[in-house]
Structure 1
Amino acid sequence: MKNVKTIALATALVATAALAAPTFAADRGEDIRSGDYSWMQFNYMYAVDELPGGSNHDYMEMEFGGRAGVVDLYGYVDVFNPSERTDSDKSGSPKMFMKFAPRFSIDAITGMDLSVGPIQEVYLTTLFNWGGGDINLYAPGAGDVNNASIGIGADVMVPWFGKVSMNLYKYYEIQAKDWNGYQFSMNWFKPFYNFDNGSFISYQGYLDYQFASDDDFSATQASSGGVMFNGIYWHSDNYAVGYGIKAFSDVYLIKDTDGFQSTGFAHYFSATYKF
């Protein structure tokens, strides 16, 4: 309950500042809408040995994001086994998964430039993961993936990588109505080879790591775990193709066992159309 009260107070303070202070984000001057942008793309993906469980399957992903005033947004919606192939490891499984990650610029809300050293901008950051299964999917009343996180984030300039998004969250399991540990997340996008026609090759990826979790929360839960995705992609204005390898360690806080694998590596192949 203390965590709930602390986060509620922090949210209230930020909201109050938004009403009371002039708003301008770092590097945007007085017009916080001057740098607004949005993007969307569709990715056709194929996963090999995806964990937990080691499944092979295809899926369609709608990925989106942008910036609008004080809000920085990233998210995606996955539709699994879109052609309903009976030989897919996702056959008979929930069809959809959504990640939704809005961040709210404290710089823009308060009218203060909080940049210091490599830190470019500071955010009140949130993260929501929602699965498409019913409440009795894995066990009576257990439900599908359904969690939320809130915390503090920043855009940080890192040598060679450039701007990297880093976020530290307090993790809340919506289905169980309980706080359980923390999550650190970061993501990057680094073009490193340019072609004469304007296309380029990038190194892009992300890290999600959960820690300080109560491993008594369930019999199969680990106290820490996460994933790291490392991708090499070719990009043009309208298309992208790429390959990524993802490392898993007790992913989703599921303990790795001989009977159910949650630690290892998976491979991803992607073809993208950009809007």
Structure 2
Amino acid sequence: MKKSLLALAVIAASSVSVANAADYSDDIYKNDHKWLQFNAMYAINEKPQFGTDTDKDHNYLEMEFGGRKGVVDLYGYVDIFDLAESDSDNNNKKGEDKTFMKLAPRFSIDGITGQDLSFGPVQEVYFSTLFNWGGGNGKPLDSTNNSFWGIGADVELPWFGKVGMNLYGLYDINKKDWNGYQFSTNWFKPFHFFDNGSFLSYQGYIDYQFGGDENFKGNDIETTHGGAMFNGLYWHSDNYALGYGLKAYNDVYLLKDGGKPSLNVDSSGISHYLNATYKF
């Protein structure tokens, strides 16, 4: 999937001015904001791939949303794949889920306790959760239907500004068992502004899994660590955005690149994403 956890435009995609203070003792609703956008996406050479299925180019529509209400910081999206195609031989998603949903609510510990827990570059601390749901087709190699539970923070970094960071334990909903950990970080950095108010941004995320079971799903193609990094260059206006993203994979979803010869797992490499956005 294009994103795992994490809000690429939670602040910049919103026209609301958000307060920076993490002290919620006076008003837990002072940072409230919300945003919604639709993304027309095209993915080129998306990973993972299996067997002779090396053409993973496909289109999809994404409804992406996020915001803040009281102590809850929310990010999520719903993807619908290959909108104009049926489950035919020329469909790159043949036999796979036609939908995917990610929901990532974080709960501010600062807001819940009424204490300002910020220190150094750490602006705010969260109890972090993340949920992935696919269409539930029951494939043995299905990497969806996962939940993640842990702790997170908003961290102020040089040049990047506020960056979200989360450390989770992974609970596989299909297997009903824990399987390692995931560190996730995301950023959104406007770096060039035009006279008409539009701007260019560097935005992206890293999802890195570690401590996994090499035979968790019982098919001998898992590895203990792996992940992906998305690097996006986007032009934003008040109502639209256009972007290109390069995504680098290394044993993504803990699938060992190469795997069994009979499965020919391709889980490492580079993919490209094209994006056109309309903001609500």
Superposed pair shares fold, TM > 0.5: yes
Quick one: distance in 2 between partners of 1:194 and 1:27?
31
Indicate if the aligned counterparts of 1:56 and 1:88 stay in contact, CA closer than 8 A: no
Shift of 1:88: 3.3
Quick one: distance in 1 between partners of 2:215 and 2:48?
20
Shift of 1:27: 4.7
- Say which of 40, 51, 54 aligns to 1:44: 40
Matched letter for residue 267 of structure 1: H
1:255 pairs with 2:256:
yes
The alignment partner of 1:50 has SS state of coil
Quick one: distance in 1 between partners of 2:117 and 2:24?
13
Q: Which residue of 2 aligns with 1:79?
A: 80
Gaps in structure 2 of 5+ consecutive residues? 1-20
Indicate if the aligned counterparts of 1:45 and 1:61 stay in contact, CA closer than 8 A: yes
1:108 pairs with 2:111:
yes
Quick one: distance in 2 between partners of 1:120 and 1:143?
36
Shift of 1:133: 2.9
Quick one: distance in 2 between partners of 1:28 and 1:194?
32
Quick one: distance in 1 between partners of 2:98 and 2:234?
26
* 1:136-163 Cα shifts (integer Å, max 9, x gaps): xx24xx7661110110000000000000
Q: Which residue of 2 aligns with 1:206?
A: 205
Quick one: distance in 1 between partners of 2:23 and 2:32?
13
Percent identity, aligned pairs only?
63
Aligned length: 247
Quick one: distance in 2 between partners of 1:90 and 1:121?
40
Shift of 1:29: 5.5
Indicate if the aligned counterparts of 1:28 and 1:35 stay in contact, CA closer than 8 A: no
Return the TM-score normalized by structure 2: 0.85
Indicate if the aligned counterparts of 1:188 and 1:206 stay in contact, CA closer than 8 A: yes
* 1:176-224 Cα shifts (integer Å, max 9, x gaps): 1111100000000000000000000000000000001111313111100
Gaps in structure 1 of 5+ consecutive residues? 1-24
Shift of 1:90: 1.5
* 1:102-140 Cα shifts (integer Å, max 9, x gaps): 0000000001110000000000000001111323xx24x
- Say which of 245, 256, 278 aligns to 1:273: 278
Map of 1:1-275 to 2, 5 A cutoff? 26-28=22-24, 30-53=26-49, 54=54, 55-84=56-85, 86=88, 87-135=90-138, 138-139=139-140, 145-217=144-216, 218=218, 219-257=220-258, 259-275=264-280
Instruction: Flag the structure with more relative contact order, 1 or 2, with Cα contacts below 8 A and sequence separation at least 6.
Output: 2
Matched letter for residue 274 of structure 1: K
Return the TM-score normalized by structure 1: 0.87
Quick one: distance in 2 between partners of 1:205 and 1:173?
25
Shift of 1:235: 0.2
Matched letter for residue 36 of structure 2: M
Matched letter for residue 172 of structure 1: Y
The alignment partner of 1:112 has SS state of coil
Indicate if the aligned counterparts of 2:25 and 2:115 stay in contact, CA closer than 8 A: no
The alignment partner of 1:216 has SS state of coil
Matched letter for residue 48 of structure 1: I
Q: Which residue of 1 aligns with 2:13?
A: none
Q: Which residue of 2 aligns with 1:9?
A: none
Quick one: distance in 2 between partners of 1:145 and 1:26?
34
